[in-house]
Amino acid sequence: MPKIFFTEDHEWLSVEGDIATVGITNHAQEQLGDLVFVELPEVERVVEKGEAIVVVESVKAASDVYAPLNGEVIEINEELNGNPALVNSAAEGEGWLWKMKISDAGQLEGLLDAAGYQALVG
């Protein structure tokens, strides 16, 4: 069973072992509105926690999505290239953005659980 975490930057992570699937939260996609473009990272890109690695563009604005942990991008959601609106319809599911191999599991300690995230967004 994966463990679910959230960041204060409105990303969610589903963690199984040392692999995290990352996306933006329902709250974030609601704030952005209809997505028209998602710029995904390169597979094998090594990322640092806090680094902007994805750009999501909506009819309202473009926003960065940040790496929640140190690690390496191992897969991207290719389906978003032709269907960025999948993030709007299933932000915390099929609309995931990338998967990464976690290089510092200790960083999970600083993330929020579902109750903590709900408290953050009210």
Domain range list for the chain: 3-101
Residues 46-60: tens digit of each pLDDT: 999 999 999 999 998
Tell me the average pLDDT of the chain.
Answer: 97
Which CATH architecture is the domain 3-101 placed in? Beta Barrel (2.40)
Residues 68-93: tens digit of each pLDDT: 999 999 999 999 999 999 999 999 99
- Strands (DSSP E) contained in 1-122 are 3-6, 11-16, 19-24, 35-39, 46-47, 52-58, 62-66, 71-76, 98-102
- The answer to whether the beta carbons of residues 35 and 4 sit under 8 Å apart is no
